[in-house]
């Protein structure tokens, strides 16, 4: 899977809620294969005061139309300016980057847990994991109903569960407070998660206790995205590893989290 | 097409564009993006005798027109380089240069001796300017006596081209350049990063785990350019210029100031194809200015 720098054309920019946008980018030639958990590094030229590219995980891929989409959540100046791009604008992207989630076995029952912009790779994984939807459970958490994005396009990929901190959608609390999570955690063969560190650490702790396979996707600050700057390192059981090339997905057994 | 080749001592570079240490791994990491044989040279990630874990995360802070890093020479050591990396790169047609680091003069010498045994490593870059390690590194590069001592000791065991990478964190960089030239350095490369700092005002904490780090990128270019110009006036050996080069015009400015070659560093993080774009851009410039040879351009700044 060769990495490239390409000028892609933005063909769609849809606002999904107050701070989430879906950007669809089209390549001039055939797309390389892109796996859930992999990311792209985007140059935001219109934000002239921003020096480095910004990494985003991939939400979906359409090989036939040579497009992939990103879920862009406004977190700072870079993401804010990116959401102002219009269809027809050209955007330089380095992709595909990193190692994605491992492929589940065909008989696995899996739990996908997403929070914040970490929802993107979970939705992508639900679509391409190749499992019977009965065995795919997707748990998404947010502050309130206004922070959730519409997942109706993915509803047939598995069974969805929601939590909000204010109880405005699904169960009230964090994802780790959800009744399904509390009662069924040990029945899953694999747990995949992407979201805020505190959320992933809480899940990793529960998964480790229950003895369930668990992969987390990290988002350490990076400069290059392809393994040369060595800035995004995470401490692992075998020393510092680059989140951009050895990850961003790690099995929790590799990490040195105090869980 | 103009002749882009340039010599340092008796080593020929097919063009004057090299990648800077710490920004291209060992070359393999950017091979998806560029044909390494189109480059004048690849200066590989700083290497030490023993494995180094480097500093704790966070190691990077984005700054206006640049970035701070505090990687701290993370590398797997020279044995790993010789066993696992050298066999993969030795047949690629470019000059692979090892960036040599140590905490003591003895370590610099021992590492140089190991590298000297490798036929396809035609030169070393002696790094006496890393700002992110507690021992050695920049400490050697900020005074004339210590810079002279390490260059003298390494020169005694190494007869291939010896490039010395200088720190800008000094009062008078030309004096340091003259000092290393006096001990037999064949070239100086400059500048390494500027010691800097970033603070998160809301949390009232330093951004980097090491508090301070090395500043690179276009933010430092005017200072780097001034230093290259001063050093080129002060020494007879070839100067390799670097510091914030983001396009061919930036590179040409360094060459006009007196650099015989340039290194592309932080710019690779934004665009890993930048080094080959700079090669093409220098060629175009020479054509536009009716020059047949790159050598005509070196130090051709017109003053007055």
Q: How confident is the model at residue B187 (pLDDT cuts 50, 70, 90)?
A: very high
Mean pLDDT of A8-16: 97
* Residues 6 or more apart whose Cβ sits within 8 Å of residue A192: A101, A110, A111, A112, A113, A122, A125, A214, A215
pLDDT at B131: 83
pLDDT at A258: 84
Mean of the per-residue pLDDT values of chain B: 97
B229, pLDDT greater than 80: yes
**Residue B23 is nearest to which of A228, A234, A240, comparing CB atoms?**
A228
Q: What is the C-alpha to C-alpha distance for residues B205 and B199, in angstroms, rounded to an integer?
A: 6
Instruction: Tell how far CA B126 is from the center of its chain.
Output: 9
The pLDDT assigned to A184 comes to 96
Measured in degrees and rounded to the nearest 5, phi and psi for residue A171 equal -85, 150
Residue B96 pLDDT exceeds 80: yes
Sequence spans of domains, chain A:
4-97, 110-217
Distance CA B257, CA B38 (A): 24
pLDDT of B28 strictly over 90:
yes
Domain spanning A4-97, CATH architecture: Beta Barrel (2.40)
Q: Residues A65-77: what's their mean pLDDT?
A: 96
Which contiguous run of DSSP H or E holds residue A242?
strand A239-242
Q: What is the pLDDT of residue A116?
A: 87
Report chain B residues touching chain A, CB-CB < 8 A: 22-25, 29-30, 32-33, 45, 53-54, 56-60, 62-67, 69, 71, 74, 217-218, 266, 268-273
CB B214 within 8 A of CB B68: yes
Task: State the average pLDDT over residues B285-295.
Answer: 96
Q: Does residue B135 carry a pLDDT above 90?
A: no
Please give the average per-residue pLDDT across B41-50, as a whole number: 97
Q: B6-296, which class in CATH?
A: alpha beta
Of all residues in chain A, what percent carry a pLDDT higher than 90?
98
Q: Burial, B184: exposed, middle or buried (Cβ in 10 Å; 0-12, 13-18, 19+)? A: middle
pLDDT of residue B280: 98
A110-217 CATH fold: Rossmann fold (3.40.50)
Which is more confidently placed, B208 or B129? B208
Measured distance CA(A259)–CA(B146) in Å, rounded: 47
pLDDT surpasses 80 at A1: no
Determine whether the annotation assigns residue A69 to a binding site. no
Instruction: Please tell me which residue of chain A has the smallest CA distance to B24.
Output: A228
To the nearest 10 degrees (0 to 180), the angle between helices B173-182 and B144-155 is: 30
CA-closest candidate to residue B163, choices B202, B125, B218, B114: B125
Closest residue by Cα to residue B124 from B205, B42, B202, B67: B42
Contact B240, B93 (CB under 8 A): no
pLDDT confidence of residue B137:
79
What pLDDT was estimated at residue A51?
97
| Residue A108 to residue B66: CA distance in whole angstroms | 46
pLDDT mean over A42-51: 96
Do B243 and B226 form a contact (C-beta atoms < 8 A)?
no
CA dist A101 → A58, A110, A162, A175 (Å)? 12, 12, 22, 20
How far apart are the C-alpha atoms of B86 and A256, rounded to whole Å?
31
Chain B positions touching A4 (Cβ under 8 A) are 32-33
Task: Give CA A178 to chain center in angstroms.
Answer: 21
Average pLDDT for B17-36:
97
Q: Write the pLDDT tens digit of every residue in B76-92.
A: 999 999 999 999 999 99
Spell out the residues 6+ positions from residue B76 whose beta carbon is closer than 8 angstroms to its own.
B51, B84
A5 chain-B contacts, CB cut-off 8 A? 33, 271-273
Q: Quick check: A259 pLDDT over 80?
A: no
Judge whether residue A102 has pLDDT over 90: yes
């Amino acid at each position: 899977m060769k990495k490239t720098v390409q000028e892609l054309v933005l063909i769609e920019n849809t606002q999904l809620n107050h701070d989430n946008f879906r950007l669809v980018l089209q390549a001039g030639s055939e797309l390389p294969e892109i796996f859930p958990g992999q990311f792209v590094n985007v140059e935001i030229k219109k934000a002239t005061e921003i020096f480095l590219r910004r990494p985003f995980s991939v939400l979906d891929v359409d090989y036939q139309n040579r497009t992939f989409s990103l879920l862009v959540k406004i977190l700072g100046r870079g993401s804010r300016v990116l959401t102002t791009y219009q269809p027809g604008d050209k955007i330089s992207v380095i992709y595909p980057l990193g190692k994605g989630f491992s492929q589940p076995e065909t008989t696995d029952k899996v739990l996908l847990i997403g929070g914040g912009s970490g929802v993107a790779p979970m939705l992508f994984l639900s679509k391409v994991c190749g499992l019977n939807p009965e065995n795919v459970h997707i748990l998404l958490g947010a502050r309130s109903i206004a922070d959730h994005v519409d997942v109706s396009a993915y509803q047939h990929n598995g069974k969805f569960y929601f939590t909000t901190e204010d109880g405005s959608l699904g169960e009230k609390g964090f994802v780790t407070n959800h009744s399904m999570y509390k009662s069924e955690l040990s029945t899953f063969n694999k747990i995949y998660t992407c979201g805020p560190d505190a959320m992933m650490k809480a899940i990793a702790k529960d998964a480790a206790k229950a003895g369930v396979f668990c992969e987390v996707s990290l988002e350490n600050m990076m400069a290059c995205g392809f393994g040369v700057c060595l800035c995004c390192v995470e401490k692992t059981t075998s020393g510092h590893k680059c989140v951009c090339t050895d990850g961003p997905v790690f099995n929790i057994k590799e990490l040195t989290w105090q869980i | 097409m103009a002749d882009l080749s340039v010599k340092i001592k008796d080593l020929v570079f097919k063009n004057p564009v090299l990648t800077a240490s710490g920004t291209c791994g060992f070359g393999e990491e950017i091979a998806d993006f560029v044909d390494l044989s189109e480059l004048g040279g690849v200066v590989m990630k700083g290497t030490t005798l023993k494995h180094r874990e480097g500093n704790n995360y966070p190691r990077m802070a984005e700054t206006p027109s640049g970035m701070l890093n505090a990687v701290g020479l993370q590398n797997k050591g020279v044995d790993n380089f010789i066993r696992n990396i050298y066999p993969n790169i030795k047949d690629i047609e470019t000059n692979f240069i090892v960036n040599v680091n140590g905490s003591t003069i003895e370590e610099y010498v021992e590492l140089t001796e190991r590298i000297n045994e490798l036929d396809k490593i035609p030169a070393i870059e002696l790094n006496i300017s890393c700002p992110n390690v507690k021992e050695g590194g920049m400490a050697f590069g900020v005074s004339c006596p210590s810079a002279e001592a390490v260059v003298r000791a390494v020169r005694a065991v190494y007869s291939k081209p010896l490039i010395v990478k200088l720190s800008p964190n000094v009062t008078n960089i030309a004096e340091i350049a003259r000092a290393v030239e006096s001990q037999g350095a064949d070239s100086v490369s400059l500048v390494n990063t500027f010691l800097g700092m970033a603070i998160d005002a809301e949390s009232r904490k330093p951004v980097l785990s090491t508090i301070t780090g090395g500043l690179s990128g276009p933010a430092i270019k005017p200072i780097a350019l001034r230093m290259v110009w001063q050093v080129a006036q002060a020494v007879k050996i070839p100067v390799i210029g670097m510091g914030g080069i983001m396009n061919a015009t930036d590179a040409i400015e360094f060459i006009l100031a007196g650099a015989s070659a340039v290194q592309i560093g932080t710019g690779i993080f934004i665009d890993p194809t930048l080094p080959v774009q700079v090669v093409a851009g220098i060629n175009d410039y020479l054509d536009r200015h009716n020059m047949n040879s790159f050598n005509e351009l070196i130090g051709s700044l017109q003053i007055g």
